[in-house]
Amino acid sequence: MNNIRAVIIDDELNGRENLKGTLSKHCPNVQIIGQANSAVEGIKTIQEHSPELVFLDIEMPGGNGFEVLKFFDNPDFKVIFVTAYDHFAIQAIKFSALDYILKPIDALQLIGAVNKLEKLQSEWNRKLQNFLTNEHIGRERQRIALTFSDKIEFIEINKIIRCQGEGAYTRFFIADSPEILTSKPLSEYESLLAEFGFIRTHKAHIINKAHISSFVKSDGGYLVMSDQSIAHISRRRKEEVIQQLKG
């Protein structure tokens, strides 16, 4: 394994020490060459040391971790986000399939994130670009990373017509594009897409409200989507779905 030169940016000393200690034990190839306790100091430390990897805490007083990243137009380092709890930040990170670890640190999760950096080199830049673009543009233009069989595609959310659960996998139906079968269960996407006007109509279906062509009341009710495909509405969700379609 190659050595990786890394810096840690975290406002709390305990946070930095704990991560450093855990790394030296479980990821000895990661060398910590610098530390910083704020976003501003973090930017300086990165400029000074040109690390290959940055462990970036998200919530810090006086500028959060995302701002550190946004400062560099075209970062030549990789990032693993570190967070104790931040729902929206994690959503944004997951949208671009970037890596993050949670506090307190789970050694296995840390090892997984570090190992992943060594593989899939070329994907990293595309993920990061997607993340930075999403941060800058309106939500209607944002793209979500869909990973499947070692590949990754960034799909504009408003082009997604519906998603269909197939066991531990999810099939995406996308306007003017072929279907994509990703290796995550539907529930994962349900929480990511809820705030973009997607609703669950059936145990195996979530649909994009903006892509509904018509609501057919016969046969217990179903939706015809913009690609003429049909999304079922289950009996138990019917009332709730109708409420959500009105709203």
Partner 1 sequence: MSEENREVKELKTLLYGLFALVIVLLILGVVYRQIAKTKLQTANLHAKVRDLELTAIRAQMNPHFLYNSLNSIQNLVQQMKNDEAHRYLSKFAKLIRAILNHSSKDEITLSEELDILKEYIGIEQLRFDFEYEIETRDVDIYAFYVPPLLLQPIVENAIIHGLAGKKAGAELKIIISNEQNYICMEILDNGAGRDFLTPKPSGNGKGLAFSEERLKLISQKHNTEYQFEIKDLKKSDGSACGTSVKLCLESE
- Nearer to partner 1 by Cβ, of 41 and 188: the residue is 188
Among 102, 120, 155, 192, the residue binding partner 1 under the rule CB under 8 A is 102
Count residues contacting partner 1 (CB under 8 A)? 21
Q: Is 104 in the site for partner 1 (CB under 8 A)?
A: yes
Q: Which residues face 73 on adjacent strands?
A: none
Nearest alpha carbon to residue 144 among 176, 102, 190, 202 = 190
Of 8-16, 42-50, 116-124, 197-205, the window that binds partner 1 (rule: CB under 8 A) is 197-205
Binding region for partner 1 (CB under 8 A) out of 92-100, 122-130, 143-151, 234-242: 234-242
* Of 44, 141, 151, 203, the one binding partner 1 by CB under 8 A: 203
The whole-angstrom separation of Cα 161 and Cα 145 is 16
Q: Which residues contact 142 (CB under 8 A, 6 or more apart)?
A: 95, 133, 134, 156, 157
Q: Does 62 bind partner 1 (CB under 8 A)?
A: no
CB of 119 to partner 1, least distance (A): 24
| Identified binder of partner 1 from the candidate list 138, 167, 178, 247, rule CB under 8 A | 167
- The minimum distance between CB 236 and partner 1, in angstroms, equals 4
Q: Does 16 bind partner 1 (CB under 8 A)?
A: no
Residue 164, class by beta-carbon neighbours within 10 Å (0-12 exposed, 13-18 middle, 19+ buried)? buried
Tell me: does residue 178 bind partner 1 (CB under 8 A): no
Residue 109 CB, shortest distance to partner 1, in Å, is: 8
For residue 82, state whether it binds partner 1 (rule: CB under 8 A).
no
Stretch in the footprint of partner 1 (CB under 8 A) among 58-66, 171-179, 183-191, 218-226: 183-191
- Residue 185 binds partner 1, judged by CB under 8 A: yes
Site membership for partner 1, residue 125 (CB under 8 A): no
Which of 13, 107, 181, 216 touches partner 1 by CB under 8 A?
A: 107
In the numeric block, the tokens 């994009």 are attached to 208
CB closer to partner 1 out of 194 and 216: 194
Positions that interact with partner 1 (CB under 8 A): 22, 85, 102-107, 109, 165, 167-168, 185-187, 202-204, 234-236
